[in-house]
Structure 1
């Protein structure tokens, strides 16, 4: 049976985290009980593979779809034989502070077998009035100073705190010390990796009642003490019909667009497109069909889809491979 390409929505995989809550339910997502910190919206990783929820491929895992349709649907850059889907798309509910953490680059010698480094970006969907994040080291902090601060239990003295609001975007290349703090809901686009090294975790117990493992030596090894190129973009002035680039890395290009009426778009044979609906509702239309869309939904648009339109009152985060 021949299946024509269409925008695929996936059944999210919900992950309980000590810092999570129930805020993702505001998007109409069905949450299990507990502290749900992460909704893996589009992913193919040993720790979670999402399955198509719409159309003729419903029930198939992203891994199965990739093997079936290869570069034709995922693009000449998006499909490499034997490799994973290159990105992982999440929604995060930060009901409490996350651990102070850092991610390695792809070439870190102590990466777990088969795992990649992790460069990511955040788009702030919602934030309480006094919300903040940890975003990098203070100027001049070197490995020796950070090592001593960790030993003295004063690591927070070495870190930059940044206030945030809805619409802010943060690029977080591997090697950047960071943490989301309480009262924030985030869309995260990242390398397909689940490797995190915890520098500090507030001496709090995990879901099992025990202190969570820290990874101090690995953290000290992978931190980019001179900075890794982290950037912040305020996106509140994006006008209808405009697409603003909010993150660019070797792994993804991310743009924010505002639609007030209709936007005509098109795919490239080089890459699939990921659409995260950040605000509003409307319709996604293509040659062979249409799909209602609303805030919190995520779609994988095949590289061969061609022309498509977004209609309605929408804020959209669009990602593709560079």
Structure 2
């Protein structure tokens, strides 16, 4: 089998807070005027990504991994996760504020939902003037103070609100209260999990006057009430990979491509490229593939070198 970089048909999600930037900014074929998420690579049950290029076109990612686990995932990843793809990749368009929410850790998620926890990171791709992200407590808090503010609909007074711009990075450990604010487009990298505890939704209702479900009780012992250092400072390096996040679940580098970059790695893990700005060519064994902002590419673990050419900002993610 000749392995090659894989691309997938986006799985588009309608959300009450979504908009149209996934089309106007990222060229996705959105499904409504309130499309909030494009799941780029997913193995969440009932939302499994399907390959849309090359010899594997039409097969879903689980089918390919089942046939070629070490070649696709890498020996180290298989040893740790078996044939389960451990990450979920998304682009998110927040026309309105997302709910204030958090995600449980691995232990709670396994016990309650038979799922991974949801450690994640955001890379801000676009931000309107005065837009912001809500992340973590301003000061160390506790359950009593949290419940008091929640009851009086004043929870935001306890939380950090960060003004944001393109290129900002936030790393969100499980238990961190957070919300993407209106006017922001982010690339999101996370553990394979769809477990979210929604704690406040700005008193928003749908067209029938119904609010979305809140998870007040479930959240209480999942919240980290301490201050968290979630905003990540980093320095881009031209035509090199600059490390941004290194955690037990994934490693993310940023490649500031201005000309060409000879990319090499071991065969222990797959790699995913998310193009967050510009255009580039990927050259493998003389064959050229062209990509642009909004594209997401899975490089099978068995591929250990290739060349990138162009002007682009690329997130490079591996285990």
TM-score under structure 2 length normalisation: 0.95
- Alpha-carbon displacement from aligned partner over 1:133-168 (angstroms, at most 9, x marks no partner): 101012121111001111222111111111111000
Structure 1 residues 206 and 266, CA, compared in 2 at 3 Å: closer, same or farther?
A: farther
Structure 2 distance, partners of 1:111, 1:206, is 32
Aligned: 1:140 with 2:140: yes
Structure 2 distance, partners of 1:150, 1:36, is 29
2:297 counterpart residue number: 299
Structure 1 residues 231 and 113, CA, compared in 2 at 3 Å: closer, same or farther?
A: closer
Structure 2 distance, partners of 1:109, 1:318, is 27
Paired residues for 1:176-215 under 5 Å: 176-206=176-206, 209-215=209-215
Structure 1 residues 248 and 312, CA, compared in 2 at 3 Å: closer, same or farther?
A: same
2:97 counterpart residue number: 97
Structure 2 distance, partners of 1:64, 1:206, is 38
2:238 counterpart residue number: 240
Structure 2 distance, partners of 1:39, 1:300, is 16
Structure 1 distance, partners of 2:59, 2:193, is 21
Structure 2 distance, partners of 1:101, 1:277, is 27
Provide runs of 4+ in structure 1 moved above 2 Å.
77-84, 109-114, 206-209
TM-score under structure 1 length normalisation: 0.94
For structure 1, which runs of at least 5 residues remain unmatched after alignment? none
Paired residues for 1:160-309 under 5 Å: 160-206=160-206, 209-227=209-227, 230-235=229-234, 237-287=235-285, 289-309=287-307
User: Greater shift after overlay, 69-78 or 91-100?
Assistant: 69-78
| Matched residue SS, 1:270 | coil
2:65 counterpart residue number: 66
| Matched residue SS, 2:113 | coil
Give how far 1:217 is off: 1.4
Structure 1 residues 288 and 306, CA, compared in 2 at 3 Å: closer, same or farther?
A: farther
| Matched residue SS, 1:217 | helix
Structure 1 distance, partners of 2:109, 2:51, is 35
Kindly indicate whether the alpha-carbon contact (under 8 Å) linking 1:111 and 1:117 is maintained by their aligned counterparts in 2.
no
Structure 2 distance, partners of 1:28, 1:165, is 21
| Matched residue SS, 2:96 | coil
1:122 counterpart residue number: 122
Structure 2 distance, partners of 1:21, 1:107, is 34
1:39 counterpart residue number: 38
Structure 2 distance, partners of 1:45, 1:116, is 11
For structure 2, which runs of at least 5 residues remain unmatched after alignment? none
Structure 1 distance, partners of 2:271, 2:147, is 41
1:320 counterpart residue number: 318
User: Aligned-residue CA RMSD in angstroms?
Assistant: 1.7
